[in-house]
Amino acid sequence: MGGLQKKKYESGSATNYITRNRARKKLQLSLPDFRRLCILKGIYPHEPKHKKKVNKGSTAPRTFYLLKDIRFLLHEPIVGKFREYKVIFVRKLKKAYAKTEHTAVERLKENKPTYKLDHIVKERYPTFIDALRDIEDALCMCFLFSTFARTGKCHVQTIQLCRRLTVEWMNFAITSRALRKVFISIKGIYYQVEVMGQLITWLVPYQFSHDHPTDVDYRVMATFTEFYTTLLGFINFRLYNSLNLVYPPKVKLSFSLKTKLSAFSASLTRVVSAAEEEAQMDHFPVDEEDMEKLEEREKEQKQQEAQKKMFEGLKFFLNREVPRESLAFVIRCFGGEVSWDRSVCIGSTYDETDETITHHIVDRPSVGTQYINRYYIQPQWVYDCVNAKIVLPVEDYFMGVTLPPHLSPFVEEKEGDYVPPEKLKIMALQRGEKPGKQNDEEEESEEEEEGDDEDDDEAEEEEDKVQEKKLKKMEAQRSQPKVLDNPAQREQQEKAEEKRLAIMMMKKKDKYLYDKIMFGKKRKVREVCPISCCSNMDFHHNKSVCTDKSHICNNALFTIPALLSLRCVNVKHLSKRVSSRMYRPCDL
């Protein structure tokens, strides 16, 4: 017996999706209102796996949404507000304007229908940690809108609200000393803070005057910003309460709240003035393996606490040509005091003539009047100190000096990767070493080695005889069983044997994948080795003499004849001299 024949496109994936036009008609909304509603609720279009089946055999380009998402929007109270605004408010306002009833127009504008997004924030982010994890886009958008000029593209109230919320966020980072990394790029300045164990990175554009591009839809951006400002307000309120700070923030002894806050030079008032005890890690009896991890965590915590107090006791003065807001924010995040000329901005705490100033930040080749008791440095020193987590020597950042490359702190080198010499120098400073002295010692040792080359030729013959005797002894020992007295060496040999047996027991597919991984690692090491050999190179009459003849230095200036005279040259490495992770400091 044959059952009922199934009709096409009435089951399966064809019933799980709905087109945008059908969704609009179902919600009875116009296209701009439908777009606003989807942005606020966090609903996005989907690409079906079998688009032709969903489109009922047609190949026309269409936008699809999940049917369950559209059904979810049917019960949204904001939909009623959209209809009330368009049907009632706009219609009555047009009639009042047509009849020139000014009192009715004012009354209608005062009673304009509004809506709140509080319930949507709670709905999209059930916990506070979820909101923190998704705040990066909100910060980028709010910082972007805060730099906009007052034009017809954006509402003035939105620009002012974004400016207030971003200043509150930066003041929280200053009070909690949460800043971890800073990077100056072509796009802007990247900041990274750590809040409640979550790393949050955002981009702040440079404060240059710019024209609004015509091919950008600012209405869509404004809708996103409308939701992001509500979200950021909730997060700021919660973070300020966690530090016992008054929200909206208040400044101690302030006559102008907004200007003082934006200056980043005043302290925020607290609800409880009593000093709070700092949180310390609990200690529990643990195993040997966990003990090593615990020691590493304690070491990281001590390093972090030292980084937070990096600029304590230092007083900075900013010249008028440097980016005041960025430098003031970074310096205050690490405990330093900062001021500037009173004519630049309000909030100056001391003048340029103050004798207690330790660092004067300038971005020009020379200054008219200089003081002996302070350092005149360029702005990059502040950012490099933050990324290095220590106070770097100021000799490389003096006024008019060619600056070292500004390395990205967001790049983490893995085993076998190329590490630039500037990064190696910073790592040596972090360990407490002085790279300058080491370089001098290496140069002296190289000169001694060159002088001893002649004596080595005579000693080579004697060494050959000694090596022949050793080889005979080793051949005699091969027949005897090996006995390892060193337990560490025995354990290392056992691990190597276990690894060899595990590789032998691999499946063919896994073994092929393992070989590919190991081949990639070896190739990376081969590519890095020629670049990393930088210190063992001398030049004499356009001839490069490398003490380590298996490598070639890529950071020196070679001539083509000198390169071709070496047998160890690999020409393809020459094109990889400049690493993409190294940047020169941009003009601030």
- Same-domain pairing of 70 and 84: no
Distances in whole angstroms, Cα of residue 450 to Cα of each of 463, 536, 539, 545: 19, 12, 14, 12
Nearest to residue 583, comparing CAs of 394, 410, 408? 408
- Is the distance from CB of 171 to CB of 261 less than 8 angstroms? yes
Last residue of a domain, one of 233, 263, 293: 263
SS3 at position 226: helix
Does pTM top 0.75 for this prediction? no
Nearest to residue 170, comparing CAs of 148, 187, 188, 195? 195
- The contacts of residue 209 (CB under 8 Å, 6+ apart) are 149
**CA atoms of 167 and 328, how far apart (whole Å):** 12
- Same-domain pairing of 71 and 88: no
- Total count of domains within the chain: 4
Identity (one letter) of the amino acid at 544?
A: S
Assigned token pair, 334: 């690490």
- Is the distance from CB of 361 to CB of 382 less than 8 angstroms? yes
Query: For residue 520, with 0-12 CB atoms within 10 Å meaning exposed, 13-18 middle and 19 or more buried, which class applies?
Result: exposed
Distances in whole angstroms, Cα of residue 582 to Cα of each of 190, 404, 410: 15, 10, 12
**CA atoms of 53 and 281, how far apart (whole Å):** 58
Identity (one letter) of the amino acid at 581?
A: R
- Determine how β-strand 359-361 pairs with β-strand 315-318: parallel
Assigned token pair, 163: 């400016």
Last residue of a domain, one of 110, 131, 157: 110
- Same-domain pairing of 373 and 393: yes
- Is the distance from CB of 337 to CB of 349 less than 8 angstroms? yes
- Same-domain pairing of 257 and 122: yes
- Same-domain pairing of 70 and 147: no
Q: Is residue 492 part of a domain?
A: no
Q: Is residue 252 part of a domain?
A: yes
Q: Is residue 175 part of a domain?
A: yes
Chain mean position to CA 432: 26
Q: Is residue 36 part of a domain?
A: yes
Assigned token pair, 451: 């002088």
> Looking at residue 35, what is its pLDDT?
93
- Same-domain pairing of 62 and 48: yes
> Looking at residue 540, what is its pLDDT?
38
- Is the distance from CB of 514 to CB of 503 less than 8 angstroms? yes
- Is the distance from CB of 364 to CB of 204 less than 8 angstroms? no
SS3 at position 18: strand
* Domain, as residue range, for 132: 118-263
- Same-domain pairing of 62 and 87: no
**CA atoms of 183 and 203, how far apart (whole Å):** 10
Residue that the structure tokens 């802007």 belong to: 188
What is the per-residue DSSP string for 102-159? HHHHHHHHHT------HHHHHHH-SSHHHHHHT-HHHHHHHHHHHT--SSTTS-HHHH
> Looking at residue 546, what is its pLDDT?
40
- Buried b / exposed e over 383-407, threshold 16 CB at 10 Å, is bbbbbbbbebeeebbebeeeebbbb
Helices and strands, counts by H and E, the chain: 22, 13
3-state helix, strand, coil in the chain (%, to 5): 50, 10, 40
CATH number where 395 lies? 3.40.50.10190
- Same-domain pairing of 206 and 228: yes
- Same-domain pairing of 70 and 150: no
Q: Is residue 466 part of a domain?
A: no
Q: Is residue 512 part of a domain?
A: no
- The sign of the dihedral angle between the CA atoms of 263, 266, 268, 269 is negative
**CA atoms of 167 and 157, how far apart (whole Å):** 15
- Same-domain pairing of 50 and 135: no
Counting every residue, how long is the chain?
A: 588
Q: Which residues of the chain have pLDDT under 70?
A: 1-4, 251-267, 269-289, 435-461, 463-465, 467, 470-485, 529-588
Assigned token pair, 158: 């939105």
- Is the distance from CB of 381 to CB of 394 less than 8 angstroms? yes
**CA atoms of 354 and 357, how far apart (whole Å):** 6
What is the per-residue DSSP string for 282-332? ------HHHHHHHHHHHHHHHHHHHHHTTTTT-EEEE-TTS-HHHHHHHHH
> Looking at residue 133, what is its pLDDT?
93
What is the per-residue DSSP string for 156-203? HHHHHHHHHHHHHHHHHHHHHT-EEEEEE-SS-EEEEEEETTEEEEEE
> Looking at residue 274, what is its pLDDT?
43
Last residue of a domain, one of 263, 297, 331: 263
Nearest to residue 261, comparing CAs of 357, 337, 325? 325
> Looking at residue 538, what is its pLDDT?
39
- Same-domain pairing of 259 and 123: yes
Which residues is 245 bridged to in the sheet? 270
**CA atoms of 196 and 179, how far apart (whole Å):** 12
**CA atoms of 254 and 267, how far apart (whole Å):** 10
Q: Is residue 230 part of a domain?
A: yes
Q: Is residue 2 part of a domain?
A: no
- Same-domain pairing of 134 and 65: no
Q: How many CB atoms lie within 10 A of CB 125?
A: 19
- Is the distance from CB of 331 to CB of 385 less than 8 angstroms? no
